Structure 1
Amino acid sequence: MGVGDWVRSWPVYRQLTGTDRLGRGAAARSRRSAELTPRTASADRVVGSVCPFCAVGCAQKVYVKDERVIQIEGNPDSPISRGRLCPKGSASKQLVTGPQRQEHVLYRAPYASEWQRLDLDTAMDMVAERVLDARRRGWQDRDEQGRTLRRTMGLAGLGGATLDNEENHLVKKLFTALGAVQIENQARI
């Protein structure tokens, strides 16, 4: 490439001598940038999701290739975020692809000093058994005057700000169906 070719390939030269005076179009594009393709172009499918970080509920587009997440972007069809994501939402790909992500359940038995790995089915069965046991042990069918209560004092629910409205609604329904009366959210505490 000669000196003249180099000068003509310089964006400022193209901006001053061409039709793109503001440098927002062809003047700003290099040969290399013209050959680039977005990493989302190779995705097999796009899955709609919601950002998990706060209760705003910004919609996301999750790009998947070979059953692996390759990119997460804001969804422009969302009336909440209109395609924008905050820095945490923009970095949410790390939650599913980061090397620090745990892919198994760690359990430490009561009085044990070491953690042990459990498969997810075993861990979920343990949680279900403990919830049902706490519900049963704390169950109150009637009060001292014989009035019907049908509640448990063995369970309580505490929602968090990282849950969106739909998730908080489902948590409330679950704990109400279980008979719990202490159902709160960290926003009120």
Structure 2
Amino acid sequence: MQMQRRTFLKTTAAAVTATAFTGLGPAFALDNVVKEAGECKIQWSKQTTSICAFCSVGCGLVVHANKSTGRVVNVEGNSDHPINRGSLCAKGASSIQMTVNADRPTKCMYRAPYSDSFEVKDWEWCKKRIAKLIKKSRDESFEKKNADGNVVNRTMGIASLGSAALDNEECYAMHSFMRSLGLVYVEHQARI
């Protein structure tokens, strides 16, 4: 018997389809998968939603932290998030390393002007230095009035670039702070 190409393709497609779905049955329904995944959650941890910090897509994360120590023990995709629906790229899947990583810097490295070496500084020193430099730049570049005499109360010497890792509330707080300093150039990573 000689089989025609079209008949062969139809038979092959039917066989592959039958093989693929044989045995799966109603147990493979999405509701059951979601239910089982919910039962596998870490019971002794506190779950918090967050946003992935790696790019400007803004994928949702569920962060599990130990209730007694507060230490992050697991990070996974948020299945309720409208952007990623639980899936994560390789960087997002490894985002736990941002908090649980022995190689992560715990101290600030500061290199003084015209120096050829770095000094180890603590966070308090760094925060005070950053605040001092912001004030200095703002004071040096602050304009009360423009060339036409209109009141503008702005600084053109500082710009702000937001992060995709911030949620709406953090973006609002940061934006309000930047505007209170008189910044004109306020941008967000997602638009770049």
* Number of the residue aligned with 1:102: 105
- Which of 135, 141, 151 is matched with 2:154 structurally? 151
Distance 1:59 1:145, change over 3 A: closer
* Number of the residue aligned with 1:89: 92
- In the alignment, structure 1 residue 177 sits paired with structure 2 residue 187: no
Q: Is the 8 A contact 1:55 1:165 kept in 2?
A: no
Secondary structure, aligned partner of 2:134? helix
Alpha-carbon offset, residue 151 of structure 1: 1.2
**Which has the higher relative contact order, 1 or 2, with Cα contacts under 8 A spaced 6 or more apart?**
2
Once the two structures are superposed, residues 15-45 of structure 1 have per-residue CA deviations (whole angstroms, 9 ceiling, x without a partner) of: xxxxxx73898xxxxxxxxxxxx6x536432
Alpha-carbon offset, residue 147 of structure 1: 2.3
* Number of the residue aligned with 1:18: none
- In the alignment, structure 1 residue 56 sits paired with structure 2 residue 78: no
Q: Is the 8 A contact 2:160 2:185 kept in 1?
A: yes
Alpha-carbon offset, residue 134 of structure 1: 0.7
Paired letter, 2:91 = K
Secondary structure, aligned partner of 2:42? helix
Secondary structure, aligned partner of 1:109? coil
Give the count of matched residue pairs.
Answer: 156
Q: How does 1:14-53 map to 2 (within 5 A)?
A: 22=23, 41=42, 43-53=44-54
Question: Unaligned regions of 5+ residues in structure 1, if any?
Answer: 1-20, 26-37
- Which of 139, 143, 146 is matched with 1:140 structurally? 143
Secondary structure, aligned partner of 1:152? strand
Cα distance in 1 between the residues matched to 2:134 and 2:52: 28
TM-score by length of structure 1 reads: 0.68
Alpha-carbon offset, residue 186 of structure 1: 5.6
Distance 1:113 1:48, change over 3 A: same
Q: Is the 8 A contact 1:55 1:164 kept in 2?
A: no
TM-score by length of structure 2 reads: 0.67
Aligned-pair Cα RMSD in Å: 2.8
Distance 1:56 1:94, change over 3 A: same
Question: Unaligned regions of 5+ residues in structure 2, if any?
Answer: 1-21, 28-39
Identity in percent: 32
